Amino acid sequence: MAFFKRFREAQRPRCTALVAAAGSSTRMGGINKLLQPLGGVPVLVRTLTALQRAGRIDEIVVAAREEDVVEISRLCRTYGITKCAKVVRGGESRTHSVLLAALEARPDAELLAVQDGARPLVTPELIDAVAEAAARTAAAAPAVPVKDTVKVVRADGTVDRTLERDALRAVQTPQIFEASILKAALQSALEAGAAVTDDCSAVERLGKRVYLVEGDEENLKITTPVDLLLAEAILKDREERT
């Protein structure tokens, strides 16, 4: 049994996680949300810990603001994030930052997993499930059904039309792709000046299909102070259940 487990492990594609952590946190009032405590542990550390524990992640590269590179490197040492190989300076945009991190990934990485640094409640199980799907399809991401009614609005603020909610999904991270596809997509988006809002959008520009897997309602992104309060409540509930 142990032999077959080692054989399967050797056969699976190597995967490097690229952590987007170079944002300006403008909607947090200028406070670096990634270094804010969540249950006594920095938000970014909780994200990195999930990647550390995920069986299908072999390496982590963090793209950070220049002024945070030393601090994030220190946190990785302090909290035992041994998979973190590099903390690199981010670029002028999220797309640029992810590309810079991708170029620093280990040469044998067949898959690249893009993870928002501000999604601290992501679980190792979700990460592994998306990686498994990406190994089959070359492009996969987690998503959850949209609960609210979504409307397209005209420039004057009036409603243009209402979208069919059943066909809508809110996409989360990690978004995992075959390495060559992601690098080409990011490079193309940068050269074209395309305003892509996530890495799936960059890949979709090249005509590639992205497959969605079931996400996690608790895998929220910390964007505003309210999100941090909600994350605290979810974390407390998790701890009470275990």
Question: How many beta carbons lie within 10 A of that of residue 177, not counting itself?
Answer: 29
Average pLDDT, the chain: 94
Residue 26: per-residue pLDDT: 72
Residue 134: per-residue pLDDT: 98
Measured distance CA(169)–CA(167) in Å, rounded: 7
Domain residue ranges of the chain, discontinuous segments joined by +: 2-140+174-241
The string of pLDDT tens digits covering residues 50-107 is 999 999 999 999 999 999 999 999 999 999 999 999 999 999 999 999 999 999 999 9
On the question of pLDDT at 7 being above 70, the answer is no
| Burial (CB count within 10 angstroms: exposed 0-12, middle 13-18, buried 19+), residue 26 | exposed
Choice among 120-124, 136-140, 218-222, 236-240 with the minimum mean pLDDT:
236-240
Q: For the chain, where are the alpha helices, taking DSSP H only?
A: 2-11, 43-53, 69-78, 94-102, 124-137, 179-192, 199-205, 225-241
What CATH topology corresponds to 2-140+174-241? Spore Coat Polysaccharide Biosynthesis Protein SpsA; Chain A (3.90.550)
